[in-house]
Amino acid sequence: MNSVTLPDSLGHFGPYGGRYVPEVLMSPLEELEQAYYQARNDSSFREELSWLLHYYAGRPTPLYPARRLSGKLGGAEIWLKREDLLHTGAHKINNCLGQILLARRMGKQRIIAETGAGQHGVATATVCALFGMECVVYMGEEDMRRQKLNVFRMRLLGAEVVSVANGSRTLKDAISEAMRDWVTNVATTHYLLGSALGAHPYPMMVRDFHRVIGEETRAQALQQIGRLPDTIIACVGGGSNAIGIFYPFVGDSAGRLVGVEAGGKGTDLGEHAARFSGGSPGVLHGTLSYLLQDDQGQVGLTHSVSAGLDYATVGPEHAWLHDANRAEYVSATDADALAAAQMLARTEGIIPALESAHAVAEAICRAPKEPQAVYVVNISGRGDKDIDIYRENMPELDDGASGK
């Protein structure tokens, strides 16, 4: 297992990854890759990013022992990596700060992004405000309906939110539309892609900007627990929070890495976003990875109560970790995630994002069977943005919904 040195020079993680885009974007991607390598080796870039992550975003985030949750489950000792406490309420800001500094180095003044749940859109709008750059966020019409609060937050921050009415009107279509914008405006525009997806160098670069999650976890576990965790659990949409926390542990021989996909409401194509159990290798949005597709190679529709996990393909490094048996991938259903969110809220006073609630659900499922184990669950975001969806799904708690 030497995935610490991956990807190769063309962006491959084993057979996955690569760069499958229209020719117009090939030279700009090569430029971006070169700019990223230069920045990564530039101590002033690294220092400025560290400064921002600390003073602006609020790093390091705590590693917190979830004693009441662990006690209730009566098994493994569960610790929470609190990315939900970061500025803007999710891990997404780590990558946005890194990419905005890179965009500034490259002289780009206009930033575009896609968003599903709105967390990446909010984080992008935030860093654009901070650096005085123009910001356009593409968001599926269906997601705009599901995530009204984040749409308003982006606008309040000065971003333009463009509604995408194509296809399934979710994250997949938002990315397609952002890519069309980028193809058109590539000379002036940086595409601030929000997950460890897309064409090289994005999967590598986004992972690198999030690996701080895993590096902190490692140091904090040794200091606070006295040993490394047995199991690390994170939700996987595109997979940025998961690869961020997994990556510093990938080279270890021990330690289970568990990615949790959206099991949605069923196992038929269109009812979930479980790419590893329901998909097969294919190309979407510039990368080769596990893809939900039909027998004709048309991309399948997906469903999840969580907009951030509602996507047909998964970051290519996860595909590699899966095939190399270094990480395992499971799924949690909509119902599991909603129940897990409620349990975490009531035992720890923490309302997780619906995405993160999928990781919590897996921990809840495993913990009773492993009394000696130490788990770290990545709470990648907080649940404020999901309050409307929680309300819809928990009518018994909601006066406004009574009588419906």
Partner 1 sequence: MTATSTRIGALFATCRTEGRKAFIAYLTGGDPSPEQTVSLVLALERGGADLIELGVPFSDPIADGPVIQRASDRALRAGMTLPKLLDIVREIRRQSEIPLVLFSYLNPLMRYGFQKLARDASAAGIDGVLLTDLCIEEAAEPVSRLRECALDTIFLAAPTSTERRLRLAAEHSSGFVYLVSRTGVTGEQQSVSEAAAPLTQRMRAMTDLPLAVGFGISKPEQVSEVARLADGVVVGSAIVKCIEENAAIPGLNAKLESFTRNLTAPLRRA
Q: Distance between CA 165 and CA 145 in Å, rounded?
A: 12
Query: What is the side-by-side order of every strand in the sheet holding 280-284?
Result: 12-13, 16-20, 286-291, 280-284
By CB under 8 A, tell whether 15 contacts partner 1: no
Does 298 bind partner 1 (CB under 8 A)? Our answer is yes
Q: Which of 3, 331, 356, 380 is catalytic?
A: 380
Per the CB < 8 A criterion, the answer to whether 53 and 59 are in contact is yes
Which range binds partner 1 by CB under 8 A, 24-32, 246-254, 343-351, 370-378? 24-32
Q: Do residues 154 and 123 touch, judged by C-beta distance below 8 A?
A: no
Decide: is 108 part of the binding site for partner 1 (CB under 8 A). Answer: no
Q: Is the dihedral of CA 198, 200, 204, 210 positive or negative?
A: negative
E strands, 3-98, are: 12-13, 16-20, 63-65, 77-82
**Active-site hit among 83, 114, 317, 362:** 114
The residue within the footprint of partner 1, chosen from 6, 7, 25, 341 (CB under 8 A), is: 25
User: Using the rule CB under 8 A, which residue among 1, 22, 251, 388 binds partner 1?
Assistant: 22
List the one residue from 43, 295, 402, 403 that touches partner 1 (CB under 8 A): 295
Q: How far is the CB of 199 from partner 1 (least distance, A)?
A: 9
Q: Which stretches of 225-290 are DSSP H helices?
A: 240-250, 275-278
Instruction: Residue count of the chain, please give it.
Output: 404
Per the annotation, the verdict on 253 as an active-site residue is no
Distance of CA 387 to the CA centre of its chain: 19
Q: Which of residues 174-233 bind partner 1 (CB under 8 A)?
A: 176, 179-180, 183-187
Single residue of 92, 169, 172, 358 touching partner 1 by CB under 8 A = 172
What does the alpha-carbon distance between residue 63 and residue 89 come to, in Å, rounded to a whole number? Answer: 16
Any bridge partners for residue 146, and if so which? Answer: none
Three-state SS at 285 = coil
Does 385 qualify as catalytic in the annotation? no
Q: Which of residues 275-294 bind partner 1 (CB under 8 A)?
A: 282-286, 291, 293
x/- string (CB under 8 A) for partner 1, residues 316-345? ------------------------------
Quick one: 50 or 184, whose CB is closer to partner 1?
184
Question: Interface with partner 1 by CB under 8 A: which range of 154-162, 165-173, 303-311, 320-328?
Answer: 165-173
Could you confirm whether 92 is annotated as catalytic? yes
30 lines the binding site for partner 1 (CB under 8 A): yes
Residue of 38, 109, 166, 277 that binds partner 1 (CB under 8 A): 166
Is the CB of residue 352 less than 8 Å from the CB of residue 208? no
List alpha helices for 74-170, DSSP H.
92-105, 119-131, 141-146, 148-156
Strands across the sheet containing 374-379 = 63-65, 77-82, 374-379, 231-235, 256-264, 328-333
Q: With contacts defined by CB under 8 A, how many residues of the chain interact with partner 1?
A: 37
Residues that bind partner 1 (CB under 8 A): 10, 18-28, 30, 166-167, 172-173, 176, 179-180, 183-187, 282-286, 291, 293, 295-299
For the annotated catalytic residues, the residue numbers are 92, 114, 380
